[in-house]
Amino acid sequence: MASVIELTNVTKQFGDVTALRNVDLAVEEGEVFGFLGPNGAGKSTTIDMLLDFVRPTAGEIRVLGMDPQADSVTLRRRVGILPDGYDIYDRLTGRQHVQFAIDSKGGDDDPIELLERVGIADAADRKAGGYSKGMTQRLVLAMALAGEPDLLVLDEPTTGLDPAGAREMREIIREEVARGATVFFSSHILEQVEAVCDRVAILNRGELVAVDTIDNLRASMGDGATLTVTVDAEPTTETLDAIEALPGINSVGVAGTTITVHCASSAKTAVLDAIEASGLGVSDFATERTSLEDLFLRYTGDADGPTVGADDTTDDPAADAAMEVER
Ligand SMILES: Nc1ncnc2c1ncn2[C@@H]1O[C@H](COP(=O)(O)OP(=O)(O)OP(=O)(O)O)[C@@H](O)[C@H]1O
């Protein structure tokens, strides 16, 4: 079966700004796929292209085997989206919003059940204009779930949610995948991504810098751990050289009687053995796993672009109108 999302050599330019450059990406059926990147990396732009809210400058996009431009009406019935910026109708109730989404998807869900899933059934008959930020986010999620979509696309889904809400969001993602859906979601919060994703793509300044499982990304960095060893005398150059010569060692540093080694997790025992073999006694040691934060920064440098939300209008009035309906 073809990939659920397939980008081939996609480039998007907004005037002088290249939001995406030659991106190739394939998301397979049944995956929970995390899309990571710092502010301004191009995540929302990519998501907006999946349903033709934004059009690529070059390259090909296929979603559920369809062309977002040619098949946008059919596609929008089969994809649930929680966009980065969304409009709600202040004077309509939560229930009316969800019913509207169900109708536009041709679904037969019970709106109250959907509102229950996202935890705001109590407020079903209140006007959405009076909802808090987190409640609004939950409402838009309920709308995305309408009609049992084959693909769920979530742009920063936990924005505005409290910790319980973030956990519920993860549960919903798991339920949707268990039902047979594919989930694609963007985030810059790595812990959330790690908790639910099968694979991730890391985008930086419009380019894909990695696509893999988080475990593999960790392993491929080769510096899975930092080992800090306190020894009973100042180590000699020979000792440090012996450590450095071991497989899986990235760097060795020393300050007085403390040796700091960045290495693959599997190299830790060999480091301790080498220190003892050199005649030094180990009085203490500690190891620390490379944090997700380190991993992320390693791939994206300190490239903190400006925080600019995507202007999600297209240059096609029909598509803009369809987008309004979708929301
Ligand atoms: N409509 C637009 N006009 C001009 N530039 C745009 C437009 N939309 C996005 N950009 C630019 O494209 C780049 C990628 O933006 P995008 O919103 O896709 O990033 P992002 O990864 O979603 O960021 P964030 O995490 O801050 O939401 C940025 O440099 C942004 O300024």
CATH number of the domain at 250, please: 3.30.70.100
Angle between helices 268-277 and 237-244 (to 10 degrees): 150
Identify whether 294 is part of a domain. no
Residues 195, 233, single domain; the answer is: no
- Look at residue 277 and give its three-state secondary structure: helix
Q: Which pLDDT score is estimated for 299?
A: 77
Residues 206, 228, single domain; the answer is: no
Residues 161, 285, single domain; the answer is: no
Residues 48, 194, single domain; the answer is: yes
| Overall domain count for the chain | 2
Quote the ipTM score: 0.97
Q: Which pLDDT score is estimated for 19?
A: 96
pLDDT below 70 — which residues of the chain? 1, 219-223, 290-294, 302-327
User: Which ligand 1 atom lies nearest to the CA of residue 45?
Assistant: 18
| Residues 22-39 pLDDT 10s | 999 999 999 999 999 888
Q: Which pLDDT score is estimated for 221?
A: 61
| pTM of the model as a whole | 0.75
- The residue whose CA has the least distance to atom 16 of ligand 1 is 42
40 Cβ closer than 6 Å to some ligand 1 atom: yes
Distance CA 210, CA 198 (A): 14
Residues 156, 262, single domain; the answer is: no
Q: Which pLDDT score is estimated for 1?
A: 59
Alpha-helical runs (H) found in the chain? 43-50, 72-78, 94-105, 111-117, 133-145, 163-179, 190-196, 214-221, 237-244, 268-277, 292-300, 317-326
User: Which ligand 1 atom lies nearest to the CA of residue 54?
Assistant: 1
Residues 209, 242, single domain; the answer is: no
User: Which ligand 1 atom lies nearest to the CA of residue 307?
Assistant: 26
Identify whether 297 is part of a domain. no
User: Are 230 and 283 a contacting pair, CB within 8 Å?
Assistant: yes
Identify whether 311 is part of a domain. yes
Q: Which pLDDT score is estimated for 314?
A: 39
DSSP state of 15: T
Angle between helices 292-300 and 214-221 (to 10 degrees): 70
User: Are 42 and 10 a contacting pair, CB within 8 Å?
Assistant: no
Q: Which pLDDT score is estimated for 271?
A: 94
- Host domain of residue 249: 224-289
Exposure string for 50-61, b = 16+ CB within 10 A, e = fewer? bbbbbebeebeb
204 Cβ closer than 6 Å to some ligand 1 atom: no
251 Cβ closer than 6 Å to some ligand 1 atom: no
